[in-house]
Amino acid sequence: MPGRHLFTFRVGYAGRSLEFRVGRTAAIVCASVLGVLFVLLTQGIYDIRDNISKLRELRALRERVSEQNLSLYHLDAKFGGLSAEVERLRAMDHRIRSLVKGNDSLRRNPSPGVGGSETPEASAANRLDKLLDLKFDRLKKDLLVDVNDLDVLGEQLDSRRLLLECVPGGWPVRGILSSVFGVRNSPFTETPVFHHGMDIVARAGTPVTASASGVVVKSGYEALYGNIVMIDHGAGYRSIYAHLASCNVEEGAFVNRGEEVGKVGSTGRSTGPHLHYEVRVNGLPVNPARFLN
């Protein structure tokens, strides 16, 4: 066509050639269409890659949520064990309180309060993290209160146990009670005298044991008591074992409750084999019968 710009394309095929003639306007239209298609194709590829990335993130998030659910399951089991431990500590607390007297001044502090509204998180994984943190903090605070309370009670119990270690208890020798604490007729003068201890008749040579732990402050012979052992148990308590055939401990030695300190004898002012047993509190004689059981 005269006056129009033509684009000629020749394609060879099987010894033949084909010729296409395209006008300028048609060529511009085709180029525009191809350009638009290229842009759309490029955008589509970008969108596909973006969607693939988002799908990967979603898959990773689902895997994380699944892992968090599994962790929550295991932590629930652990929390169940911790809850049981809290109950065990509280039961121990109750038993210790029943053993420790005079603990009215010890008040049990209430468990710190927790609460408030929860702000929704952006993902399920974060919500699970927050839930686990809240449960763990609550149990940790409960355990902290109970353990602190038990520490205080434990200190009181230790103090009371140490005090009980100082208090004489039980029979120092196996035998028969022949004379009690208090006023009695003297076996030598038949006149009323105050007996500062108790006499326990036993076979000569029978072991005599300490009625409580302590330090031996006297071990030797006295005219009235004969062979005598005196033990200082602390807290003002002392015990005396007299008329012994022999003293088996030395002054300054530490003896444990139930440890042998001598043998039954009849030394000093005595009418026969027996143990004269005294308990003194802050230097004053008290009735040993109070401590036999």
Tokens read off for 77:
């089991």
Buried b (16+ CB within 10 A) or exposed e, 2-21: eeeeeeeeeeeeeeeeeeee
Classify residue 110 as left (phi > 0), alpha (psi -120 to 50) or beta.
Answer: beta
Tokens read off for 192:
């009323």
List alpha helices for the chain, DSSP H. Answer: 24-99, 124-166
In the chain, the domains with their CATH numbers are: 1-166 (no CATH), 176-291 (2.70.70.10)
Q: Give the confidence band of 5 by pLDDT, cuts at 50, 70, 90.
A: low
Q: Are 17 and 11 in contact, with CB atoms under 8 Å apart?
A: yes
DSSP secondary structure string for all residues of 36-54: HHHHHHHHHHHHHHHHHHH
Tokens read off for 251:
């002054």
User: Where is pLDDT greater, at 97 or 66?
Assistant: 66
- pLDDT tens digits, residue range 71-91? 777 766 766 666 676 676 667
CA distance 279 to 292: 11
Find the angle CA(79)-CA(80)-CA(82) to the nearest 5 degrees.
60
**pTM metric for this prediction:** 0.50
Compute the average pLDDT of residues 207-229: 96
Pairing of strands 214-222, 226-234: antiparallel
Q: Residue 62: what pLDDT?
A: 77
User: Where is pLDDT greater, at 141 or 105?
Assistant: 141
Instruction: Give the C-alpha distances (Å, rounded to integers) separating 53 from 40, 48, 49, 100.
Output: 20, 9, 6, 67
Burial category of 225 from C-beta neighbours within 10 Å (exposed 0-12, middle 13-18, buried 19 and up): buried
- pLDDT tens digits, residue range 254-277? 999 999 999 999 999 999 999 999
